[in-house]
Amino acid sequence: MQVDKKTLAVLAQRGWQAGAGLITLFCIARYLSPAEQGYYYTFASLAGLQALLDMGLSTILVQQAAHEFAELTWLPHGAVVGKNVGRYLALTKKALYWYGVSGLLFLLVYPGGLYFFSHRPQESDLAWQQPWLVLVVSTAVGLALLPVLAIVEGSGKVVEVYSLRLVQGIVGAIAIWFTLMQGGGLYAVAMMPASAALIALVWALFRYPKLWVSALFGISGDFGWWRELWPMQWRLGISWLCGYFLTQMHTPLLFQTQNAVVAGQMGVTMTVCNMLGLLSLAWMTSRIPVLAKAAGQQDWDLLDKEFKKGFKRSLAVFVLGAVFFVLIRYAADYTAYGVRFLPFWETFVLIGAILFAHISGLLAIYLRAHRKEPFLWLSLSGALLTVGGSVWLAPSWGSAGIVLVLFLVNVGFGFPTSLVMWVMLRKKWHAII
């Protein structure tokens, strides 16, 4: 597998995220009770509701910034010069406003969480209220800073942005471990978003001060957000919302229908699967600006060449990682930590479901490089099937019912439909554009 600098930067960040995640899992099992583990992952899942306010914009910004920066150049301290620089600054300004408002709106999750968690009298001795507040506030600040990284990454500085994310991951992971070892309990769940937000803020102010000053207070050009971004944003936003229900809603659902212990088992197992997906996406994520630029210039040969490379390598890494995790999970049953995961066969089936969802996601990246969101109704249908089936089976079947629903929806519906759409739309778009 050949690894260029961009892929290496993404891989380093994702590799640390995966490796540190495994250490975090051990620390959680070592320093938190099974019930606290359930609260930990339910907290994290509910914090994922920020996707409702992001609406996929962070992904679109990377692609749009790549298009706008094609004829621009960086100067020291974040100044930008070149043809149509005003559009780039206008895009930056409106993105900062959008996420600033989104961060404020996310604070409303706090009272919702108080209501959600207050209905667990059997775990009333757990001190969860203050950690929940810290998590919500730090996540809101991090949400407001999302466009800072996306705008710069889209300009082609993939190595720098993912190096920054690597630093965020290292500091955040160390903060989590230290908090757990010092008896901080559920405060640990807020350490990653809090440290990430602080590092991003310092980086943006000292590395690119002129960009933000020019965008917010300077004279910018005309960029029609509602005309150029919104048609794709609302579609991708629905897809992201559907993605939340496909990957995050199961832990809170089991928290309510079963108990905190079962929710913690689902949270740990799903976290490992998600880390595996993030790590294997490195070979594709690093190519998003290149794919977007190739699609914008109608360079179909380059588009297909880069996608084929990323697809094959991403899939290979996922499969190898999945085999390794299955072996580790099997061995865990002979230790005291086996009970912290879903049962072995449920874990095996869940990995299969995530594998096919991963393939569908790779196909979606290719099509979205054309600045279109064709998977809207596919994502919506899949989410409705998953939510309906999970809500129906979770009270009586528990985690086994949710895993079964995920496998049937992803393998029997999501994957074959996305493959057919990819073949048809690729042929159609490349013929008429």
- For 329-345, the pLDDT digits (tens) are 999 888 888 888 999 99
Rounded to two decimals, the pTM is 0.79
pLDDT at 71: 76
**8 Å CB contact between 78 and 210:** yes
* pLDDT tier at 393, thresholds 50, 70, 90: very high
Measured CA to CA, the distance from residue 304 to residue 326 in angstroms comes to 33
pLDDT in tens, 180-210: 999 999 999 999 999 999 999 999 999 988 8
* Structure-token match 């993105």, residue found: 95
Measured CA to CA, the distance from residue 329 to residue 400 in angstroms comes to 16
Quote the Cα angle for 104-139-203, to 5°: 100
* Structure-token match 């929710």, residue found: 263
**8 Å CB contact between 87 and 223:** yes
Q: Is the pLDDT of residue 314 over 70?
A: yes
Measured CA to CA, the distance from residue 57 to residue 149 in angstroms comes to 12
Q: Rounded to an integer, what is the distance from CA 388 to the centroid of its chain?
A: 23
DSSP-derived letter for residue 188 is G
